[in-house]
């Protein structure tokens, strides 16, 4: 079901075909086939126009900062489904219900090609934002799909080949929040008390402009020839502005932003909140904790609610991961200012920081993230239910390769990131990367530094497109388990995930199920500079 690369704008015929696929999938999931609303033409519960475009925003005193961002326009559906992110570069928050049939028109108002990926969603391969569907400036890509996913915190961001890191860094990202009946029955905090927190790091120059990989935005937005030469690995070369090495290690900014704002502080009432944490950073990992040692009550992971709440003294949040925590601010007195911090840990990409030579805030350093200001008033908090959701136990034995997990080595060879020694190829999937529709497999991401010393020193944040998986287990080889030990108590492997942190010298086993959609999907490291420089491959689902 390989579609030609030249298929850039949706044809009506294609749309009709996809509609049929979505309905089939709906039936397979036992979800209601979406009813058509009587008024108007559309078969959609929600129709949004999403324009990616340059803009200027006030982030610091003085000069406005030039950014790239998503602007959303509601063409059909509930006005509450689209919430603009005021005062920041972030895209709108899109709110949908499970089972809804939605259409989103991406319009490329950028000076270079782009495509948008719905991170975490289970959608057909040509709705998933694979780089082979990137559209040129001025073009439109029509997404139509049924929301099949559980309630949870998903997100969207660009995914063009070799340019994802730069485009996200310049501001392109937004939240995609799904609700469903199971979640609604729980009486979790809503409205103002349902609070998304997008955590990102950025670097600015003296004129308040974003600096990507040591190159100013003006430089970064110019297309450069790939410096890798052979193989076209850096084809397009958007990331190459600041030098190859820094690019391969990762972008680490020295300013931390929450919801697209610097020096953030938030006023909260003395009652329960649901915090939806998203690490929207290019490469930085956070080890989040309250400054006074208050433990977290974790209620959700990448793919929605956990079976039951978990306690953690701190939580690890690797690039692209989401965690939901429930917090009752009544535990602090009025006027208190609890601070969400990132704690120091080992095994971060200190090397990357060194090589960039400019970041006073290396990966693994400690810093404050967000200050809360607790208001007056008394708690009217409903207790958190002991059971949150139905998450069946992960059964490795149901995998077709239970006896022999597929091993994916995260490699660096000849100064190129790869998986099992191969860098990204637009339309290729190896026999190992070919799977059968309707089956489950055990995959193992192995970060044992095969193929070069540098691979050994770095954590990776491994993401699989188009599905949610389960984490079966981790093994650390122990040669230098210090890194692992400094983060392990904060790993949340429970529930459904689409992105998993793999520390140096670690092997992580996951259970992956290929349901509903045949086609070509990505899996890759979500440290965007690793992804852009080759730590990405396709897997092909065959019927
Ligand atoms: Cu959020 Cu392929 O990525
Ligand atoms: Cu990586």
Ligand 1 contact, 168 CB (< 6 A): no
Residues of the chain with pLDDT > 70, as a percent, come to 81
Q: Which residue has the higher pLDDT, 201 or 219?
A: 201
pLDDT of residue 42: 61
Which ligand is in closest contact with the Cα of 522? Answer: 1
pLDDT bucket at 357, cuts 50 / 70 / 90: very low
Which ligand is in closest contact with the Cα of 284? Answer: 2
* 293 has pLDDT over 80: yes
Ligand 1 contact, 522 CB (< 6 A): yes
Q: What is the pLDDT of residues 218-232, one digit of tens each?
A: 443 433 333 332 223
Residue 129 Cα: closest atom of ligand 1: 2
Q: What is the pLDDT of residues 435-451, one digit of tens each?
A: 999 999 999 999 987 65
* 27 has pLDDT over 50: no
Whether 534 contacts 161, CB under 8 Å? no
How does DSSP assign 178-229, residue by residue?
EE-HHHHTTT---GGGEEEEEEEEE-B-TTS-BEETTEEHHHHTS----TT-
Separation CA 350–CA 347 (nearest Å)? 8
Residue 536 Cα: closest atom of ligand 1: 2
Ligand 1 contact, 526 CB (< 6 A): yes
Ligand 1 contact, 320 CB (< 6 A): yes
- Report, as an integer, the average pLDDT of 478-495: 86
Which ligand is in closest contact with the Cα of 172? Answer: 1
Distance 542 CA to ligand 2 centre (A): 27
pLDDT of residue 100: 98
CB atoms near residue 115 (< 10 Å): 25
Which contiguous run of DSSP H or E holds residue 174? strand 174-179
Phi, psi for 500 (deg, rounded to 5): -130, 135
Strand partners for 496: none
Q: What is the pTM of this model?
A: 0.88
Ligand 1 contact, 163 CB (< 6 A): no
Token pair listed for 120: 């975490």
Q: Which of 266, 488, 503, 272 is closest to 369 using CA atoms?
A: 266
């Amino acid at each position: 079901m390989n579609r030609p690369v030249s298929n850039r704008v949706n044809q009506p015929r294609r749309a009709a075909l996809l509609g049929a696929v979505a309905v089939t999938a709906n039936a397979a999931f036992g979800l209601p086939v979406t009813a058509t609303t009587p008024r108007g033409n559309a078969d959609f519960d929600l129709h949004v126009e999403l324009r990616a475009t340059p803009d200027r925003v006030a982030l610091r005193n003085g000069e406005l900062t030039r950014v790239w961002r998503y602007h959303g326009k509601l063409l059909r559906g509930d006005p509450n489904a689209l919430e603009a992110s005021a005062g920041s570069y972030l895209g709108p928050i899109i709110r949908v219900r499970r089972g809804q049939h939605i259409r989103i028109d991406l319009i490329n108002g950028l000076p270079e090609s782009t495509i948008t990926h719905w991170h975490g969603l289970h959608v057909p391969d040509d709705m998933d934002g694979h780089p082979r569907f990137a559209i040129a400036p001025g073009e439109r890509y029509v997404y139509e799909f049924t929301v099949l996913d559980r309630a949870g915190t998903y997100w969207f961001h660009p995914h063009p080949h070799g340019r994802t890191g730069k485009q996200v860094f310049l501001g392109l990202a937004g939240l995609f929040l799904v609700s469903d009946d199971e979640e609604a029955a729980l009486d979790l905090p809503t409205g103002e008390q349902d609070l998304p927190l997008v955590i990102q790091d950025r670097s600015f120059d003296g004129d308040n402009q974003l600096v990507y990989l040591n190159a100013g935005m003006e430089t970064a937005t110019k297309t450069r020839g790939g410096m890798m030469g052979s193989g076209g690995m850096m084809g397009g070369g958007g990331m190459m502005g600041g030098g190859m090495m820094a690019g391969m290690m990762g972008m680490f900014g020295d300013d931390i932003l929450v919801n697209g704002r610097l020096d953030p502080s938030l006023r909260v009432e003395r009652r329960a909140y649901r915090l939806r944490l998203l690490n929207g950073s290019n490469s930085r990992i956070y080890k989040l904790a309250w400054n006074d040692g208050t433990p977290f009550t974790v209620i959700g992971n990448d793919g929605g609610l956990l079976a039951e709440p978990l306690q953690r003294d701190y939580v690890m949040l690797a690039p692209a991961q989401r965690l939901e925590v429930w917090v009752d601010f009544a535990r602090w007195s009025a006027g208190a200012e609890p601070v969400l911090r990132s704690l120091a840990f080992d095994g971060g990409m200190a090397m990357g920081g060194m090589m960039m030579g400019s970041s006073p805030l290396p990966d693994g350093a400690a810093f404050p993230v967000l200050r809360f200001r607790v208001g007056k008033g008394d708690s009217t908090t409903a207790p958190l239910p002991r059971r949150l959701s139905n998450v069946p136990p992960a059964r490795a034995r149901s995998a077709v390769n239970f006896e022999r997990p597929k091993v994916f080595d995260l490699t660096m060879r000849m100064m190129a990131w790869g998986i099992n020694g191969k860098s990204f190829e637009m339309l290729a999937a190896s026999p190992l990367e070919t799977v059968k529709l309707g089956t489950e497999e055990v995959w193992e991401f192995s970060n044992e530094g095969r193929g070069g010393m540098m691979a050994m020193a770095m954590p990776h944040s491994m993401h699989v497109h188009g599905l949610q998986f389960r984490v079966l287990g981790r093994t650390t080889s122990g040669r230098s388990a210090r890194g692992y030990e400094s983060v392990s108590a904060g790993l949340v492997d429970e529930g459904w995930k689409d992105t998993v942190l793999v520390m140096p010298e670690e092997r992580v086993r996951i259970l992956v199920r290929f349901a509903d959609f045949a086609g070509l999907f990505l899996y890759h490291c979500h440290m965007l500079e690793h992804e852009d420089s080759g730590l990405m491959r396709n897997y092909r689902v065959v019927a």
